Amino acid sequence: INMGAVFEVPGWKEFTERCQGVVDKFEEKKLVLMNKMANICLSEISPLIPVDTSRLVSSFQVGVVTPNEAEIGTNVEYALYVNDGHVQHRRFLPISYLSAGGRGKYIQPGNTKGIMLKEKYIPGKHFLENGMRQAEPRLKTIGESFMQQIGREIEGGG
């Protein structure tokens, strides 16, 4: 599933171009930074993911990390529907037990076991966007701190 949110540090591209070839092990240092940033994002997004069976929240993880980008995602097919919202079409759901919001109840046995779902719009939870918005101050701080540290290294101060 390709769910994307983008965070960019202002001046990052110009900064990295100036540091390339000047800073010792710069690519490795950027890789460490990207891993930290990805984990910050994951830590802010995860608590906002609705929990029913825990499948969705436990499936989110840090994916591919390069010195310039980091992915956070899931392979759960319904993640986009939960995040963005969707239309629930009217249909019969053959079940004998229903669990929602941490509460469960048995469906009354009868000639048919199940419930009829009504057609309605299920609003999105927007956990990805909200988590990234919450992560933004921490990402900005860690990015600025990294640039200051590299700046001191270039100047020979450590």
Dump pLDDT digits (tens) for 96-136.
666 666 666 656 655 467 777 889 999 999 999 999 999 99
What gap in Å lies between CA 125 and CA 82, rounded to an integer? Answer: 6
Q: For the chain, how long is the longest CA-to-CA vector?
A: 80
Q: What is the pLDDT of residue 96?
A: 65
- In degrees and rounded to multiples of 5, residue 56 shows phi and psi of -65, -50
Tell me which H or E stretch contains 11.
Answer: none
Give per-residue pLDDT as tens, 45-80. 999 999 877 899 999 999 899 998 899 989 898 999
Residue 3's nearest CA partner among 97, 71, 99 is 71
Helix (H/G/I), strand (E/B), else coil: 24: coil
User: For the residues 21-42, what does the mean pLDDT come to?
Assistant: 93
Report how far Cα 35 is from the mean position of its chain's Cα atoms. Answer: 14
Q: What is the pLDDT of residue 115?
A: 75
Q: Amino acid identity, residue 105?
A: K
As a whole number, the mean pLDDT across the chain is: 85
